[in-house]
Amino acid sequence: MSKRWQVEKKKEHYYKSAKKEKYRSRASYKLLQLNKKFKIIKPRDYVVDLGAAPGGWSQVALDIAGEDGKVVAVDLQRIKPFDEENFIQITGDFTDPETIRKIEEALEWNADVVMSDASPKLTGIKDIDQLRYIDIAENALKISDMILKIGGSFVIKAFQGEGYEELLKKIKTKFKIVKTTKPPSSKKGSMEMYIIAMKKY
């Protein structure tokens, strides 16, 4: 049994499970697994999902936060709405000041959680793509500075490589607890990591 076959079987498992359980994407399982381990999102939380399309993470956040919480999803692409009234979609670039203003307006209060599973448009050139991943993560961190409440949590996807350790150091200056992990639903051979930062100073 080859390693590649095992990886493909795993990918197929989460893809099929997502279809069966009516999740928007297989990435939903990453957040479910992260939240089970770290208890990032809680009932009644206000959550901001940056780079949210197609909505897999927002869907999980809505389920956990419940009707007394709120999920604000931001992406350049339009996201198919959910039935819940406490789901707010903002179409725009989350690095744009006008988009950030809309996020603050939609929240009406500081966020309990800022999270991002966003990926850049890949070029296939490893060094360039790595810098783009780090740029997304750093911009998400800047937004968390503006909208995340004291004691809140920040979750970001990042890839190990140039800029990764520097990003981790920056996050550690802003949060009391910082963990790195790779959920079971991530591809084994991928350099993908998730940084879980809790208890913002």
* Catalytically annotated residues: 157
Q: How many CA atoms lie within 13 A of 30 on its CB side?
A: 27
77-55-128 Cα angle (round to 5): 60
Q: Where are the beta strands (DSSP E) in 92-191?
A: 111-116, 148-159, 175-181
